[in-house]
């Protein structure tokens, strides 16, 4: 049996869809907001849909910051941030001028479009991702695969080496990141059919 993956339940995110996809690929997964359970997890998924500032406040209210920092930074366990969960890994965000977890040298900034008759914010729909380096997270996924996006912000990276994949929508933005044991995807793998399921399987198999 694969080690348990904990989906962090802090009141925001599509936990049931993520858990169903993990079940489909044979992973042992639980959703939890218990700091002890999170600190003992073999792998962590940080989901999220909504407001950056409110999400960080909720993590503080639940007393999860120390547990997350312990399991990710001290123990070096793999963590996958999905959409807002990836943005929370940054140092800060324009959304609410809030401070993030600080795991990635980056800032979450709002998508700016040159032509609002052609491009809409939030960016919603299917787009390809362009791989910028080899990774166990994206292994075996065809380069022509598309993933489902639903977001208004993206990470402005200060370290080019953290960029895993890039997507074009009114300009290029990081659609996935990787730094040591820290992974993030701006898209929703749980809504991205076979390609998304493969990505989640790759993560739990690390």
Along the chain (206 residues), what's the average pLDDT of each consecutive run of 10 residues?
82 88 92 95 94 95 97 98 98 94 98 89 96 97 96 98 97 97 98 97 96
Q: Residue 48's pLDDT is what? A: 86
C-alpha to C-alpha distance for 53 and 2, rounded to whole angstroms: 34
Set 87, 95, 178, 190: catalytic member: 190
Q: For 86-107, what is each residue's pLDDT tens digit?
A: 999 999 999 988 899 999 999 9
Q: Is 42 noted as a catalytic residue in this protein?
A: no
60 phi and psi angles, rounded to 5 deg: -65, -45
Domain boundaries, the chain: 5-204
Q: For 179-196, what is each residue's pLDDT tens digit?
A: 999 999 999 999 999 999
C-alpha to C-alpha distance for 66 and 64, rounded to whole angstroms: 6
Calculate helix-pair angle for 15-24, 193-204, nearest 10 degrees: 80
pTM > 0.75: yes
Q: Is 83 noted as a catalytic residue in this protein?
A: yes
- Name residues whose C-beta falls within 8 Å of residue 194's C-beta, 6 or more positions apart in sequence: none
**H/E element holding 107?**
strand 106-110
Contact 162, 179 (CB under 8 A): yes
Set 33, 83, 87, 178: catalytic member: 83
The fold for domain 5-204 equals Rossmann fold (3.40.50)
The residue whose two tokens read 């995807």 is: 185
Set 42, 166, 188, 193: catalytic member: 188
Q: Residue 14's pLDDT is what? A: 75
C-alpha to C-alpha distance for 140 and 163, rounded to whole angstroms: 19
Q: Residue 1's pLDDT is what? A: 45
Q: Report residue 173 as tokens.
A: 């933005």
Q: Is 33 noted as a catalytic residue in this protein?
A: no
């Amino acid at each position: 049996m694969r080690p348990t993956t904990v989906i962090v339940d802090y009141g925001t995110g599509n936990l049931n869809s993520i858990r169903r996809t993990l079940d489909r690929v044979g992973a042992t997964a639980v959703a939890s907001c218990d700091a002890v359970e999170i600190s003992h997890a073999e792998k962590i998924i940080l989901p999220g849909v909504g407001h950056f500032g409110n999400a960080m406040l909720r993590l503080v209210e639940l007393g999860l910051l120390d547990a997350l920092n312990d399991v990710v930074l001290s123990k070096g366990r793999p963590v996958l941030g999905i959409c807002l969960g990836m943005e929370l890994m940054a140092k800060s965000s324009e959304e609410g001028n809030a401070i993030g977890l600080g795991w990635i040298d980056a800032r979450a900034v709002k998508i700016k479009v040159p032509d609002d008759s052609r491009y809409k914010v939030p960016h919603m729909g299917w787009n390809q991702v362009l791989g910028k380096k080899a990774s166990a997270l994206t292994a075996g996924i065809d380069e022509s695969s598309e993933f489902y996006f639903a977001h208004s912000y993206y990470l402005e990276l200060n370290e080019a080496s953290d960029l895993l994949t890039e997507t074009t929508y009114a300009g290029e933005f990081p659609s996935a990141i990787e730094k040591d044991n820290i992974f993030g995807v701006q898209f929703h793998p749980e809504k991205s059919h076979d390609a998304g399921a493969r990505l989640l399987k790759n993560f739990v198999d690390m």
